[in-house]
Amino acid sequence: MILAELEGSLSAVGYGLAAIGPGIGVGLVFSAYIQATARQPESSRLTLPYVWIGFAVIEALALLGIAFGFVF
Amino acid sequence: MISQSVVLAGGAAEFPPSVEDFKLPALVEGTYPWLTKYTLLVWVAVAAIIIFFLVTYRNPQLVPTKRQWMAESIYGFARDGIAKDMIGHEGIRFAPYLATLFCFILLTNFMGIIPGIQTSPNSHIAFPAVLAVISYVLFIYVGIRKHGFGKFMKNSLIPPAPWFVLPLLILIEFFSNFIVRPVTLALRLFANMFAGHMILLVFTLGGFALLNADSLFVKPVSLLSWAMAIALTFLEAIVALLQAYVFVVLTASYVQGALADEH
């Protein structure tokens, strides 16, 4: 006997949960860059490559979330 | 193109888009999967890059012409910004490969938004996988050639840590250096292009789906959907540039780690 039934896409819910972590992570990366540049503007050119590397590595996890939503 | 829009507006759009939309048919009967739009686009990208650099460097002058300046800027960006900054002085000998890799990934990424083409070969896992395997073989080969196999393994696998955590750390370092690196290189590029194209499909086909809705008040919302598609196309351009840059920078960073002298 079915008491309650829920229909819909679990992969969408899974992706939503998977996007929390990278969202916070990317926010941390850019907030660190903004604060560092605010303290010492000359360092902005030195730290910019690390901003992009950090962003892409963290974003990879969010994208794994959306890609695996289609695979599984 | 006009006939395609008429067909879509007539109600033939399948919404929502799925993975099946990425499976394009073979261009010539019976050659699937060897000759599809994707393989043709890869050849077109290779030809375009070769022709571009050959033509712009035909008669190099001391005071560069406009085309020569453009080619020099692209190569200078890859050499100074990526090879020299990440690897150091030894990076100059990797600069040609990194510049070519950057141009190739940039061009194939941009094919996702060029009107008429509008698919990127990088939205199939095969093409980024091969590029990642090449980078993987590159940094391992460079490290082994410089340090010798034993010393290279010792540098990569044994971090400076107390002896009792070393067993766990060696396992983690092996997994992260030799397994996760190529997989995430490929998967990052593939997932960005796949998801980007999927988003554009959602908003474009969604606009047509809204246009074909029954209620008359829903139909104008399709314009909002198409405006979002245009905005996201610009975002896709930024993402294409960024993903090409990140792939090359990470390859350079792995090479630098392999060449590093001590831990």
pLDDT digits (tens, 9 = 90+) for B26-59: 877 777 778 888 999 999 999 999 999 999 888 8
Q: Which residue of B has its CA nearest to A56?
A: B246
pLDDT at position B66 is: 85
pLDDT at position B247 is: 94
Mutation target to probe the B interface, by most B beta carbons within 10 A, among A50, A63, A64 is A63
**C-beta neighbour count of B119 within 10 angstroms:** 20
Q: How close, in Å, is residue B238 to chain A by CA atoms?
A: 12
pLDDT at position B215 is: 84
> Is there a contact between B122 and B108 (Cβ–Cβ < 8 Å)?
yes
What structural domains does chain A harbor?
A: 10-71 (1.20.20.10)
Q: How close, in Å, is residue A57 to chain B by CA atoms?
A: 8
Ordered DSSP codes for B93-123 = GGHHHHHHHHHHHHHHHHTTTSTTT---GGG
Buried (b) or exposed (e) across A18-53, using 16+ Cβ within 10 A? Answer: beeebeebbeebeeebeebbeeeeeeeeeeebebbb
- What confidence tier does B8 reach under pLDDT thresholds 50, 70, 90? low
Where is pLDDT greater, at B8 or B18?
B18
- Tokens encoding B116: 């008429």
Number of A/B CB contacts below 8 angstroms equals: 45
Average pLDDT of the residues of chain B: 87
pLDDT at position A27 is: 96
**Is the pLDDT reported for residue A68 higher than 70?**
yes
> Is the Cβ pair A60, B18 closer than 8 Å?
no
CA distance B115 to B184: 29
- What confidence tier does B10 reach under pLDDT thresholds 50, 70, 90? low
Question: Mapped to the 3 state alphabet, what secondary structure does B179-194 carry?
Answer: HHHHHHHHHHHHHHHH
Between B85, B190, B242, which is nearest A52 by CB?
B242
What digits encode the pLDDT tens for the residues B65-104?
A: 888 888 999 999 999 888 888 888 888 899 999 999 999 9
pTM: 0.88
Interface of B with A in 201-260 (CB under 8 A): 242-243, 245-246, 249-250, 253
What digits encode the pLDDT tens for the residues A15-56?
A: 899 999 999 999 999 999 999 999 999 999 889 988 988 998
Report the SS3 class of residue B217: coil
**Is the pLDDT reported for residue B151 higher than 80?**
yes
What digits encode the pLDDT tens for the residues B183-242?
A: 999 999 999 999 899 889 889 988 888 888 888 888 888 899 999 999 999 999 999 999
**Is the pLDDT reported for residue B1 higher than 60?**
no
In chain B, domain spans: 2-259
Q: Which residue of A has its CA nearest to B20?
A: A70
Q: How close, in Å, is residue B188 to chain A by CA atoms?
A: 5
- What confidence tier does B119 reach under pLDDT thresholds 50, 70, 90? confident
